[in-house]
Amino acid sequence: WHIESLLRVVDEVVVVVGYKSDLVVKYLESTGFTSRVKTVKQEKLLGTGNAVLEAVKSLDLDDEVIVSYSDVFLEDWGVFKELSRVEENTIVGVRVPNPSDYGVLVSENSKLRYIVEKPEYPETNVVNAGIYKLKVKDIVENSNVPLSPRGEVELTSIVNNITTKKPVRVYEYSGKWIDVGKPWHILEANKIALMKITSVIKGRVENPVYIKGNVYIDEDAEIKPFSVIEGPVYIGRGAVVGPHAYIRPWSVICQNSKIGFSVEVKESVVMEGVHASHLSYIGDSVICENVNLGAGTILANLRFDEKTVKMLIKSVLEDTGRVKLGCVIGAHAKTGVNVSIMPGVKIGSYSWILPGTVVYRDVPSNTIYPQYSIS
């Protein structure tokens, strides 16, 4: 989304890669964007400011850049077009109900005074949306900033430096905006993306199949008989759905995944190469690539008391604010037959959940759960 939208208004896109850079590069190569998209490796992960400095090294000081954090998601990417028209340094702000969780933009007459990170008592509810238009010369000349408590060069510190010498305009974005920082935010961003989907059927749909609403079925996908699909839904290239499958609204089934006999998927993101072949329920969950769900695997998404689901994030139990939330399963994990996973649980990559297990807590990566010995 970021790249496609940016390519409409800029000559070239530079993607700064670091963690798992090989996967990002592989994906970009598969998109056909490579003639106008290049990657720059951030060898040491020294913050957003350092990442931008790496990206602009090959540019002229007179150039201007639009900077977008990769973990923000917008309802309307036309903001890039608006930024392409402005001549002054600009930061995009958005109003949120919980500004203390973000960098707050303190401004006067639409001119930024300073950015303050996660203040206890914010002066305004306008926060940093993670999108900027900046002059390369101003970035470079204002890059000598103190390191953050994490030992990083923050782009917000560079922007604060710029404001002491030149005006920085605040452009207030009024559409839906999500900072994808927690696992359940993926579901919220996915919902925004699916709001604009249109009905397209490129794959093979066998009769009888019931399709309602906006459903995109990509090339080489196969929908087998007696399946029900209620949009908005996206089904990727080479995916197989059915027979007798039920795909409910706000679901994404990525390429080469299989949702088989009597499997129900509700408001979930199922990434590429996932196999859920028999008699399973996937509710309000995120399933990463190449996961295999054994027959009868149930991903529960509702507490008995119908209170909001909590999830453990960096050893802190956080309230997700969602009454319905299933689980997050990392890449290449497997479940045996008749596994039940409770709401808010995370399963790490490459882990195995043994048959008949009820999972109430997080399972780390590369783990067989529960532990057992063969005598």
**What CATH number does residue 228 fall under?**
2.160.10.10
Output the pLDDT for position 29.
Answer: 82
pLDDT at 179: 94
> Is there a single domain that holds both residue 199 and residue 313?
yes
> What average pLDDT does the segment 10-27 reach?
86
Residue 101 domain-assigned (yes or no): yes
Pairing of strands 90-95, 126-135: antiparallel
Q: What angle do CA 140, 143, 145 make, to 5 degrees?
A: 170
Are residues 12 and 134 located together in one domain of the fold? Answer: yes
Average pLDDT score over residue span 321-325: 98
CATH of residue 68? 3.90.550.10
Q: Does position 1 have pLDDT exceeding 80, yes or no?
A: no
In a domain, 50, yes or no: yes
Task: Check whether residue 273 and residue 229 sit in a common domain.
Answer: yes
Task: Count up the domains in the chain and report the number.
Answer: 2
Catalytic residue among 2, 275, 278, 332: 278
| 224 and 127 both lie in a single domain | no
Clarify whether residues 155 and 266 are in a common domain.
Answer: no
Q: Whole-model pTM?
A: 0.90
In a domain, 240, yes or no: yes
Task: Give the residues across from 15 on adjacent strands.
Answer: 39
Residue 278 appears among annotated catalytic residues: yes
Residue 186 in domain: no
- 132 and 139 Cβ atoms separated by less than 8 Å: no
Is 70 exceeded by the pLDDT of residue 373? no
DSSP state of 142: T
Determine which of 30-34, 150-154, 196-200, 370-374 has the lowest per-residue pLDDT on average: 370-374
Instruction: Tell me the C-alpha distance between 227 and 268, whole Å.
Output: 17
From residue 207, give the alpha-carbon distance in Å to each of 236, 251, 265.
20, 22, 20
In a domain, 89, yes or no: yes
pLDDT of residue 375: 41
Indicate the average pLDDT of the chain: 94
**Average of per-residue pLDDT across 278-291:** 98
